[in-house]
Structures are given as structure tokens and as C-alpha cells.
Amino acid sequence: MSWIVTICLVSALSSGIYFAQQAIDAKSASLPEAEERLYLSSGHLLKKLALGHSGILADIYWMRAVQYYGTKRVKGSRDFPLLGDLIEIATILDPHLLEAYRFGAIFLSEPDWGARQPERAVKILLRGAESNPEHWQLLRDLGFVYYWYLRDYQKAAEVFLQGSKNATAPVWMRTFAADLLARGGSRASARFLWQELYETTQDERMRKNALENLIKLAAEEDLETLQSLVDRLAQKSGRSVHSLNELVSAGLLKSYPLDPKGFPYTLEAAAGKVVLSEESTVRR
């Protein structure tokens, strides 16, 4: 019977920690956003209090992180003061909680719908890679953060190269590292990386995100090409171009140009700049 008593005590303690934090958070919810914080913020302390059952508590904190992030997104908030701490606590409690490292890094890094904290994501992924050396995916994700969000192509190349040394890692990590070192970052490299992720990931959300970025790259290339045509026509005619229809009339295009999602491109006549239409759903 002693083991039953022990389990009950541990469960009660773990639940007590969680619900104590929940009560504190609920009470502080009425405080100004700037004062939002965790009062039980030490993952190492929580790990000691969990008495060997830190994995259960890690799952709870990871669920809290996802719920916190989702609630903020629904409200349209772009401020996530607790997100990094919640992810860090979850990964300290369970150093092998891969989902927390991987998706946590995305939540933290994204500039449009995340916390805009890629440096924090790097810190968490480095710890994850150190705790899980057999999982090359963490180094791949770390390379993504360096490449997409920090624009540190040298670091990205080093990380991809390091990850490629894992016997189970895909060959493209080594070739892409070499490409980055040679080019210092380019749209072609980015397209290659997104395409590889789109074709290899088993996670539908990551796959959708990769596709959106491939579409964005295609639109960026279209915009550059159209801008070049507008500038050429303006120089040839000696006057400003007021509509992209003029490119069709001049024989430079066969039809009015549409972005990859079917929305017409727009020419800002005053500035002479080709842009996505306001209605376009291509990721900005």
C-alpha cells in the first residue's frame, strides 16, 4: 500500500504546483499587461519539487505554453511575455520533450505571428540539441532560425554541417551548408530549403508553412521581374508607367500579371512601384 500512498502524494504535489501557479496567474490576469509574469519561474526548482515525476509536470507546462500562445493569438496580441519562460520550464522539466523545443522555437521566432524572440529560440534549441544529440532535427531547426530570422548565414551553415554528421540526417543538410557558405544566403538557397522541408516533414502545419513561404518567394521573384519591365518601359518611352496593362500593350507581357494565389499585382503609379494587391493572401 505504501507505493499507492507515494503516488498519491506525488500526484497531489505536482497538481498543487500547477494549480498554485494557475491561481496566481488568474489573480494577476487583471494586472496591466506589462506586469504579466510567472511567480514559479524556475524549472530547476520545479524539477526538485516534482520528486522524480517531472515528465508529467513538463507536459502540463508545455500545454500551458500552447494554450497561452493560442489565447494571445486569438486576441490579436503580439506580445508574449510569458511564452519563453513557459517553454524553458517545460524543457528543463523534461529535456527530451522534442515538441516543446521544435514548436516552441517557431512560436518564439516568428516575426508576424510569434513572439519575435529568435535569440531565445536559439538558446532553447541549443540546449535541446545538447540533451538530444541523436535528434538531428533540432539542429536543422536551429539552422532555420539562424537562416530565416537572424540572417546569420555563417552560423546557419555551421549548424547544418554539424547536423549532417548524424548518420540518419538527410544529405541535403550538408549540400545546403556548402551552398550557404558559398553564396552567403540567397533566394535560390531559401527556395531549396523550403522545398526540402515541404517534401520531407511529416507535420502538416510545418508543411503548410513551408508552402506559404515557397509562394512568398515566387511572388517576390515576380515583383522583381515586373519592376524591371516597368522601369525598362518607362526608360524607353521617356514617361512614367501608370498601369501594368501598359506592359501588355507594349508586348512585354501576354496578359495581366497575377500573383501565385491568383490576385492581380498592382502598380503604385505615384511611386512607380509594383506591389501585391491589398486583397492578396500571399504572406507579406
Whether the predicted pLDDT of 37 surpasses 70:
no
Domain that holds residue 233: 220-275
Task: Convert the pLDDT of each residue in 237-274 to its tens digit.
Answer: 999 999 999 999 999 999 999 999 999 999 998 889 99
pTM over cut 0.85 = no
Give the residue among 63, 138, 60 at the shortest CA–CA distance from 96.
138
Task: Convert the pLDDT of each residue in 133-170 to its tens digit.
Answer: 999 999 999 999 999 999 999 999 999 999 999 999 98
What pLDDT score was predicted for residue 180?
A: 83
Residue 25 placed within a domain? no
Residue 236 placed within a domain? yes
- CA–CA distance, 241 with 247 (Å, rounded to integer): 9
Spatial contact of 120 and 84, defined as CB atoms under 8 Å apart: yes
Enclosing H/E stretch for 266: strand 266-268
Cα separations in angstroms, 210 against 8, 46, 196, 201: 45, 36, 9, 9
- CA–CA distance, 160 with 169 (Å, rounded to integer): 10
Residue 243 placed within a domain? yes
Using the 3D structure, point to which of 82, 102, 132 is the last residue of a domain.
Answer: 132
Per-residue confidence band for 13, with pLDDT thresholds at 50, 70 and 90: very low
Using the 3D structure, point to which of 78, 100, 132 is the last residue of a domain.
Answer: 132
Total domains present in the chain: 2
Enclosing H/E stretch for 119: helix 118-131
Give the residue among 180, 272, 195 at the shortest CA–CA distance from 233.
272
